[in-house]
Amino acid sequence: MNQEHFTKLERMYLSANINTKIFDSTTCKISQERSEIGLKVVDKYFHALGAIHGSVYFKLLDDAAFFAVNSIIEDVFVLTTSFHINLLRPAHRGIIRATGEVKFKSKELFVAQSALYNQEGQQIAIGTGNFAKSKIKLSAEIGYI
């Protein structure tokens, strides 16, 4: 277990433009083969019916699965190669939380599952993604500091 690596990944996530300029109040906690991402629900994420748009669900599910995988890859950035989600119920308020966990790993392929929960702890979406190593080194240039 490499706590320094986890901390650098957390900083990289929290400093990404999408998380500083578009999404508010994000949190990130990474550990061995696991991650947890949190987001405060605000109305700018809503579709016309007053609940969070599916793109926000996707972002959080993908982020959680992605960082669970990158927790075990210490030299390069991983890439999402495919991702499948199931939306189970709407979210309107509070803090939503996505958890990710590595389910399969080989030399070329990594599979992770993620789940999204509302403030009451109800599961509101699930996802499964495939990930592969890139050639992009984890470095200060991409926020890995």
**Crossing angle for the helix pair 3-15 and 54-70, nearest 10 degrees?**
150
Whether residue 58 is predicted with pLDDT greater than 80 in this model: the reply is yes
Whether residue 27 is predicted with pLDDT greater than 80 in this model: the reply is yes
Higher pLDDT, 7 or 26: 7
Q: What is the pLDDT of residues 83-124, one digit of tens each?
A: 999 999 999 999 999 999 999 999 999 999 999 999 999 999
DSSP conformational letter for 43: G
Q: What are phi and psi of 22, to 5 degrees?
A: -115, -50
Is 57 buried (19+), middle (13-18) or exposed (0-12) by CB count in 10 A?
buried
CB distance 38 to 71 below 8 Å: no
pLDDT band at 56 (very low <50, low <70, confident <90, very high): very high
How many structural domains is the chain composed of?
1
CB distance 116 to 98 below 8 Å: yes
CATH number of the CATH domain containing 79: 3.10.129.10
The set of residues, in sequence order, having a beta carbon less than 8 Å from that of 82 and lying 6+ positions away, is 129, 130
Whether residue 25 is predicted with pLDDT greater than 70 in this model: the reply is no
Q: How far apart are the first and last CA of the chain?
A: 18
Q: Which domain holds residue 112?
A: 3-142
Q: Exposure pattern of 15-37 as b/e (b: 16+ CB <10 Å)?
A: ebeebeeebeebebebeebbbbb
Token pair 């991402």 is at which residue? 37
